[in-house]
Chain A
Amino acid sequence: MGPAIVTSGLVKTFGTTRALDGLDLEVETGEVHGFLGPNGAGKTTTLRILLGLLRADGGTASLLGGDPWSDATELHGRLAYVPGDVNLWPNLTGGEIIDLFGRLRGSHDERKRAELLERFDLDPTKKARTYSKGNRQKVVLIAALTSNVELLLLDEPTSGLDPLMEEEFRRCIREESGNGRTVLLASHILAEVEALCERVTIIRDGRAVETGRIVDMRHLSGSIVSAELAAPPRDLEGLVGVHDLEIDGTTMTCRVEPDALDILLRRLTDVGVVRLTSQPPSLEELFLRHYGGEVGPSAAARHGGEVGGSAAARHESG
Chain B
Amino acid sequence: MDELRGTGRLVAFVFRLERRAFAIWVGVLGLMPALVASSFEAIYPTEAAVREAAEAVTSNTAFAALLGRVQSPTIGGLTAWRIGTVAALFVAIFSALTVIRHTRAEEEIGRGDLVRSMAVGRRAPLAAAVLATLLANAAIALVATLGLLALGQPTPGAVALGLAFGLTGWAFTGIGAVAAQLTDGARAARTIAMGVVGIAFLARMLGDTVDGVAWASWISPIGWVQRLRPFAGEDWWVVALPVAVTLAGLGAAAALAARRDTGAGVFATRPGPARASESLRTPAALAWRLQRGLVLAWAIGMAVFGAVIGGIAPGMEDLVGGSEQMREILERLGGPGALVDAFLAGSMGNLAIAGAAFAVLAMLRLRSEEAAQQAEMILATTVSRSRWLSSHAAISFLGSALLMVVAGLAAGLTFGIGNGQGPGEVTSLVGAALVQVPAIWTLAAVALLLVGWLPEHSSWSWGVLAGTFLVTLLGAILGLGQAVLNLSVFQHTPQLPVADLAVLPLAILAALAAVLAITGRRGLLVRDLG
Contact = CB atoms under 8 A, between A and B. Distances in A.
Interface of A: 48, 51-55, 72-74, 76-77, 79-81, 83, 85-93, 95-101, 103-106, 123-127, 129-130, 140, 153, 318
A294 B422 CA distance: 86
Interface stretch (B206-214, B368-376, B442-450): B368-376
A91 B108 CA distance: 12
Contact of B379 (A51, A89, A140): A51
Contacts of A48: 376, 530
Contacts of A55: 526, 528
Interface in B373-398: 373-374, 376-384
A73 B529 CA distance: 15
Interface of B: 108, 184-185, 269-277, 280-283, 286, 289-290, 293, 372-374, 376-384, 526, 528-530
Contacts of A73: 382-384
A89 B291 CA distance: 11
A44 B383 CA distance: 21
A106 B281 CA distance: 10
A54 B528 contact: yes
Given A95-B274, A99-B275, A81 B280 contact: no
Given A53-B376, A83-B377, A126-B271, A318 B382 contact: no
Nearest to B386: A73
A76 B45 CA distance: 70
B379 to A, nearest CB: 6
B373 A83 contact: yes
Nearest to B383: A104
A135 to B, nearest CB: 13
Contact of B529 (A54, A89, A93): A54
12 contacts: A51-B379, A54-B528, A54-B530, A55-B526, A73-B384, A95-B272, A95-B273, A96-B272, A104-B282, A123-B271, A127-B271, A130-B269
A90 to B, nearest CB: 6
A104 B376 contact: no
A83 B273 contact: no
The 9 closest A-B pairs by CB, nearest first: A99-B276, A104-B381, A81-B380, A95-B274, A93-B272, A96-B276, A103-B281, A125-B271, A124-B274
A92 B377 CA distance: 15
B380 A76 contact: yes
Given A89-B374, A91-B185, A104-B378, A127 B290 contact: no
Contacts of A88: 374
Nearest to B277: A96
Contact of B269 (A74, A85, A100, A127): A127
A130 B380 CA distance: 24
B374 A127 contact: no
B273 A93 contact: yes
A129 B269 CA distance: 9
B499 to A, nearest CB: 43
A129 B108 CA distance: 8
Contacts, number: 118
B382 A100 contact: no
Contact of A87 (B272, B373, B528): B373
A101 B377 CA distance: 8
Nearest to A90: B185
B372 A87 contact: yes
A90 B368 CA distance: 13
B195 to A, nearest CB: 18
A104 B283 contact: yes
B504 to A, nearest CB: 40
A76 B381 contact: yes
Contact of A83 (B269, B286, B376, B529): B376
B402 to A, nearest CB: 21
A104 B281 contact: yes
Contacts of A52: 379
Given A76-B382, A93-B271, A100 B276 contact: yes
A77 B269 contact: no
Contacts of A92: 272, 289
B108 A90 contact: yes
**Which of B272, B372, B384, B530 counts the most chain A CB atoms within 10 A?**
B272
Nearest to B529: A53
B275 to A, nearest CB: 6
A59 to B, nearest CB: 16
Contacts of A101: 377, 381
Given A89-B374, A95-B275, A129-B185, 20 more contacts: A48-B530, A51-B379, A54-B528, A54-B530, A76-B379, A80-B380, A83-B377, A87-B373, A89-B290, A90-B185, A92-B272, A93-B274, A96-B275, A96-B276, A100-B280, A104-B382, A106-B382, A125-B271, A125-B273, A125-B274
Give the one of B273, B274, B293 with max A CB within 10 A: B274
B337 to A, nearest CB: 47
B290 A318 contact: no
Contacts of B377: 81, 83, 86, 101, 140
B178 to A, nearest CB: 20
Contacts of B290: 89, 91
B179 to A, nearest CB: 17
Nearest to A51: B380
**Of B373, B376, B377, B380, which is in contact with the most chain A CB atoms at under 10 Å from its CB?**
B380
Contacts of B269: 127, 129-130
Nearest to A123: B271
A238 B379 CA distance: 56
A87 B377 CA distance: 9
Nearest to B385: A72
B518 to A, nearest CB: 20
